[in-house]
Amino acid sequence: MNRVERHACFGGRQEVWKHPSAALGCEMRFGVYLPPAAVAGERCPVLYWLAGLTCNEQTFITKAGAQEHAARHGLILVAPDTSPRGAGVPNVDSYDLGEGAGFYVNATQAPWSQHYRMQDYVAQELPALVEQQFPCTEARGIFGHSMGGHGALITALRNPGRYRSVSAFAPVVAPSQVPWGSKAFAAYLGEDREAWKEWDAVELIASAGERLPLLVDQGDSDEFLSKQLRPELLEQACAAAGHSLTLRRHPGYDHSYYFIASFIGDHLAHHAASLR
């Protein structure tokens, strides 16, 4: 790995690293915030952030305002890119498919299957690199926004025992039932809708092998609320399965990072309670 950025931040360091990814077959970048405790050599828990459509590793580290809270709680924050990129990586002229829109699944369909294996990357390859390079404990949490909220939920649900905490901002909870997910899943996974259920949080809740409490924040002025996000479907699934869910609806808040920055402190406190 090679470090490409380093900035002093709240007594710690915000860094950006690049590395060749075996899972994705391209070079990838990720942001990592090291709190003062980690800079001093103390082993700290790691909290992974998965960003939404069109984002990259820069979006969260420059817009969310999370570093101050991570410094206080002693959490390492890791924010990867949202998809493979570069020459030879398939792409289309669309914001919701291809580069910037990996949906955190392992694609099975050509031409996507060679590179678009984001689940392998975020759940396996990236944590292995981070835990080798930085002073980490074995405690991991995961959270995200929109497409990344979907990614955080399914990654925790598909990997019982791997994470101690999970949360999401405005997640796509039922991608099999909404336009964003249907478009991406048809391309990446094919037309068999039964195969889609393995990547759908609402479908996975019913058979979850672990019941981590879920924290979800949603703005009621979010322009994607009724068509793409459908939080009521997650609410219904959790109620039916007896799965703990705290769904907070916030009047006046939209889908932007202004919303995320407003409640990011609550999410880091939620994760710190389990990770520390």
Give the chain's mean pLDDT: 98
Into how many domains does the chain fold? 1
Strand segments (E) across 35-123: 44-50, 76-80
Q: Kindly state the average pLDDT of the residues 202-215.
A: 95
Write out pLDDT tens, residues 74-133. 999 999 999 999 999 999 999 999 999 999 999 999 999 999 999 999 999 999 999 999
Of 167, 172, 171, 173, nearest to 264 by C-alpha is: 167
pLDDT the model gives residue 125: 98
- Asked if residues 98 and 92 have their Cβ atoms less than 8 Å apart, the reply is yes
Write out pLDDT tens, residues 230-257. 999 999 999 999 999 999 999 999 999 9
For the question of residue 255 being annotated catalytic, the response is yes
Write out pLDDT tens, residues 8-42. 999 999 999 999 999 999 999 999 999 999 999 99
For the question of residue 222 being annotated catalytic, the response is yes
β-bridge partners, 248 = 217
Of 57, 48, 50, nearest to 18 by C-alpha is: 57
Kindly name the residue from 115, 222, 243, 271 that is annotated as catalytic: 222
Kindly name the residue from 73, 115, 145, 146 that is annotated as catalytic: 146
Cα angle value 198/185/148 (rounded, 5°): 75
C-alpha distances out from residue 184 to 92, 105, 106, 116, 229, Å: 12, 10, 12, 11, 15
Cα angle value 252/174/45 (rounded, 5°): 80
Ramachandran region of residue 252, left (φ > 0), alpha (ψ -120 to 50) or beta? left
**Distance from C-alpha of 24 to C-alpha of 45, rounded to nearest angstrom:** 26
**Distance from C-alpha of 185 to C-alpha of 179, rounded to nearest angstrom:** 10
Kindly name the residue from 115, 145, 255, 267 that is annotated as catalytic: 255
Look up residue 155 and give its two tokens: 């990654």
Q: What is the CATH number of the domain that holds 62?
A: 3.40.50.1820
**Distance from C-alpha of 109 to C-alpha of 113, rounded to nearest angstrom:** 5
Structural domain boundaries, residue 153: 2-275
pLDDT the model gives residue 206: 93
Look up residue 198 and give its two tokens: 């393995």
pLDDT the model gives residue 114: 97
For the question of residue 146 being annotated catalytic, the response is yes
Residue in the structure block whose two tokens are 């019941």? 211
- Asked if residues 199 and 232 have their Cβ atoms less than 8 Å apart, the reply is no
276 has a pLDDT exceeding 90? no
